[in-house]
A and B are shown apart, each in its own frame.
Chain A
């Protein structure tokens, strides 16, 4: 059984990636935060007796299921909001919080370099967001979460062959999209990433 400290360390280790992964899927930071929080509470509530080694797979499965629940609810909600959309005035958008724009860990001091780097990263993120859901899931689990093909297949509920196909298509699509934007792998390496 995992101790509370082990759970805390595990969550601290994955929380940022889990949040970004959810943002790529739902494209809304507030909703992504809610989903990640739900997943954290579910793993601590329902799987408190599991060893910490099982947490990465369990957490990913919970996260994927929570996202699916959100999409199901959203489908029903969209039906109603589309019916009443003509009554909304569109004045209820949130004001932008200055805290949202502060970058925490960016040691680079050259503003131009920061800007270019930020733009390149945004392009990559947008390309990832545009991938079909299954391809994005497979890519993130396999390469970002560093899971093997069998684990990814188990989380996604499909065969290992499907995972390989999804991953291959995802990488191919990303490469094509980035090439079109004038971003080859060389440009990505120049971001300061070591392959």
Chain B
């Protein structure tokens, strides 16, 4: 008896639910022209993408390059970050190289041998010599 009541309730619930679903269906068929157009555009875009995927024109992921592009397209942030890092690293390397070239040119163009600049005691010694070269003021003349 209880089983029959439960079954009848379930059936009646299913019927009510189907009825409501049909109302929703009717409502879905009353969309505005603009919405329908936008849905159609979205559908066309999806179908075009599907055609490209199945025809293997773009990023099919079948070849090595294709897989690479496909991967890059789905990890845009990571790829952009990597490119920026490479650019910054290249700039730093170029700057360091140009500094080295300038230093080399300065060392080669100088009258002194390059070893002189490496020697730590050279600069104080050079300064002392400069002081030596200055003419001393004669304070008294010895006879």
Contact = CB atoms under 8 A, between A and B. Distances in A.
B51 interface: yes
A190 B4 CA distance: 29
Contacts, number: 140
Interface in B11-65: 13-36, 38-39, 42-43, 45-47, 49-51, 53-54
A44 B53 CA distance: 8
Contacts of B16: 171, 174-175, 185
Contacts of B27: 20, 121, 124-125
Contacts of A167: 17
Contacts of A41: 42, 45-46, 49
A58 interface: no
A60 to B, nearest CB: 15
Q: How large is the interface on A (under 10, 10 to 19, 20 to 34, 35 or more residues)?
A: 35 or more
A89 interface: no
A40 B30 contact: no
A184 to B, nearest CB: 10
A99 B31 CA distance: 10
A12 interface: yes
Interface in B71-114: none
A46 B110 CA distance: 67
Contacts of B49: 41, 44-45
29 contacts: A1-B54, A3-B54, A7-B46, A8-B47, A11-B47, A15-B42, A16-B39, A33-B42, A40-B46, A41-B45, A44-B49, A99-B33, A100-B34, A102-B32, A103-B32, A104-B29, A104-B31, A105-B30, A128-B20, A142-B17, A144-B25, A170-B17, A171-B17, A185-B16, A185-B19, A188-B19, A189-B19, A194-B22, A195-B18
Interface of B: 13-36, 38-39, 42-43, 45-47, 49-51, 53-54
Contacts of B54: 1, 3-4, 48
* Chain B interface helix/strand/loop/mixed: helix
A128 B42 contact: no
B31 A16 contact: yes
B52 to A, nearest CB: 9
A101 interface: yes
Contacts of B19: 185, 188-189, 193, 195
* Chain A interface helix/strand/loop/mixed: helix
Contacts of A146: 21
A103 B25 contact: no
Contacts of A189: 19
Contacts of B45: 37, 40-41
The 4 closest A-B pairs by CB, nearest first: A37-B42, A40-B46, A44-B50, A48-B53
Contacts of A120: 23
Interface string A89-103: 000000001011111
Contacts of B24: 17, 20, 124-125, 128, 140, 144
Given A33-B42, A121-B23, A194-B22, A20 B50 contact: no
B32 to A, nearest CB: 5
